[in-house]
Amino acid sequence: MLSFYGSSMSDTAQSVVADSHRLVVKVGSSLVTNQGKGIDRAAVAHWSAQIAQLHRQGKQVVLVSSGAIAEGIVRLGWPRRPTAMHELQAAAAVGQMGLVQAYEVAFAEHGIRTAQILLTHEDLADRTRYLNARSTLYTLLNLGVVPIVNENDTVITDEIRLGDNDTLGALVTNLIEAESLIILTDQAGLYSADPRNNPLARFISHAQAGDPELEQMAGGAGSNVGTGGMITKILAAKRAANSGGHTVIASGHEPNVLVRLAAGECIGTELRAELPIQSARQRWLSSHLRVRGKVRLDAGAVKALTDGHKSLLAIGVTEVLGDFNRGDVVACIDADGKEHGRGLINYSSADTRRIMGEPSHRIADILGSMSDPELIHRDNMVVNYPL
């Protein structure tokens, strides 16, 4: 249920951020670099002062900051954003120096140390690296440090990049089980259409994260500085809700926005988490934005997975797509190619091709031995999660 600005709900409700102890704050490229002109040091100082105030209230904050590429372009004196990946990566490497330096200086004013964390999709997809990233972040937070997170743009390729930091902010929210994700951008929040080209767009003050109506509202990115636009913020809210995280989308130009939100004031668009919360293992599986292969299921197997909460058996598989090994994450698709879930598969693609369509008791005869009766065990699978 959407609530437009000025409704009674926005007048009486208290911001979800008030009850949050652990927060992820994400700031977008346009905001950090003053629409691509170079790091906005006054804005960085303002956010740092607010985060310092939250620290004094006993809250823990992780800052996900974009802006490396935009700042690198300025530092390198390039007239426009390049399109070649290697040039974007070079710009990110140069600009990231400026970003972390600006945050370090700004937080030092308040006696707070910062730490640089550069993550890739692979770091979150690999179970050991995922757990390591989580334990490092917890350690830093307990030490009173503000981790400054960005995607490790210099080592990623097009196929594996997260691409926008809204998604990264949500994944970090899941990783550390933050209660709130605050996405600061150059708009006051979410409108019913892109306010830059639709003057009739209405402001949305409250909605439920994951409400499909929201996805219709997002236009493209507002400038050539930011990448995601609103759709990535809406999907990030849906993803953050997987671990119970509420999302607020608000303007980074709003005076004292973080402190006021933490004091309970409703500012921007609040997207509340009301989805069932996933287990830690399911969240890790959902954070795999890429899969190694796919298995196509017949209608009965799709129903068993989605309605029956059952494991996937070889008998329900009609086709195997791609090459994968035992233990890889594969997607489960239906006859039309729609994905219904994904999980850790117990057999390689070659073995799966040999046993598909067969009952489990035949596996040992066909392969010579049977490691597991299920192709994907229920505990290693996540079904109907946000894509």
Ligand X SMILES: Nc1ncnc2c1ncn2[C@@H]1O[C@H](COP(=O)(O)OP(=O)(O)O)[C@@H](O)[C@H]1O
What spatial distance separates the first Cα and last Cα of the chain, rounded to whole Å? 21
- Residue 228, interface with ligand VHF (CB under 6 A)? yes
Interacting residue with ligand VHF among 23, 36, 52, 67 (CB under 6 A): 67
DSSP code for 218 = -
Paired with 321 in beta bridges are 294
CA gap 38, 215 in Å, rounded? 31
Q: Taking contact as CB under 6 A, which single stretch among the options 135-143, 185-193, 279-287, 369-377 is the one that binds ligand X?
A: 185-193
**Burial class of 57 by CB neighbour count within 10 A (0 to 12, 13 to 18, 19+):** exposed
Phi, psi of 198 (to 5 degrees): -140, 100
Cβ contact 209:201 at 8 Å: no
- Residue 227, interface with ligand X (CB under 6 A)? yes
Cβ contact 200:193 at 8 Å: yes
Interacting residue with ligand VHF among 92, 204, 297, 344 (CB under 6 A): 92
C-beta neighbour count of 3 within 10 angstroms: 17
- Residue 169, interface with ligand X (CB under 6 A)? no
- Residue 36, interface with ligand X (CB under 6 A)? no
Interacting residue with ligand VHF among 226, 252, 316, 341 (CB under 6 A): 226
- Residue 222, interface with ligand X (CB under 6 A)? yes
Pairing of strands 339-344, 329-333: antiparallel
**185 in a labelled binding site:** yes
Interacting residue with ligand VHF among 24, 125, 149, 153 (CB under 6 A): 153
- Residue 114, interface with ligand VHF (CB under 6 A)? no
Number of residues that bind ligand VHF (CB under 6 A): 17
Q: Taking contact as CB under 6 A, which single stretch among the options 44-52, 98-106, 122-130, 216-224 is the one that binds ligand X?
A: 216-224
Q: Taking contact as CB under 6 A, which single stretch among the options 44-52, 83-91, 186-194, 372-380 is the one that binds ligand X?
A: 186-194
Please, what is the minimum distance in Å from the beta carbon of residue 209 to ligand VHF?
18
CB within 8 Å of 279: residues ≥ 6 apart: none
CA contacts within 13 A on the Cβ side of 22: 19
Cβ contact 31:40 at 8 Å: yes
**Whose Cβ is closer to ligand VHF: residue 66's or residue 380's?**
66
Q: Give the largest Cα separation in the chain, rounded.
A: 70
**40 in a labelled binding site:** no
Please, what is the minimum distance in Å from the beta carbon of residue 111 to ligand VHF?
27
- Please, what sign has the CA dihedral across residues 152, 156, 158, 160? negative
**252 in a labelled binding site:** no
Q: Taking contact as CB under 6 A, which single stretch among the options 51-59, 147-155, 219-227, 278-286 is the one that binds ligand X?
A: 219-227
DSSP letter for each residue of 82-150: --SHHHHHHHHHHHHHHHHHHHHHHHHTTT--EEEEEE-HHHHHSHHHHHHHHHHHHHHHHTT-EEEEE
Q: Taking contact as CB under 6 A, which single stretch among the options 187-195, 210-218, 225-233, 263-271 is the one that binds ligand VHF?
A: 225-233
Please, what is the minimum distance in Å from the beta carbon of residue 228 to ligand VHF?
4
Q: What is residue 213's three-state secondary structure? A: helix
Interacting residue with ligand X among 20, 114, 185, 380 (CB under 6 A): 185
Nearest to 70 by CA among 92, 97, 100, 46: 92
Rg (CA), the chain: 22
- Residue 150, interface with ligand X (CB under 6 A)? no
Please, what is the minimum distance in Å from the beta carbon of residue 239 to ligand VHF?
15
Please, what is the minimum distance in Å from the beta carbon of residue 240 to ligand X?
15
Residues that bind ligand VHF (CB under 6 A): 28-29, 66-70, 92, 150-151, 153, 164-166, 226-228
Binding site feature residues = 26, 66, 153, 165, 185-186, 227-233
Residues that bind ligand X (CB under 6 A): 28-31, 66, 185-187, 190-191, 193-196, 217-219, 221-223, 226-230
Binding site feature residues for ATP = 26, 185-186, 227-233
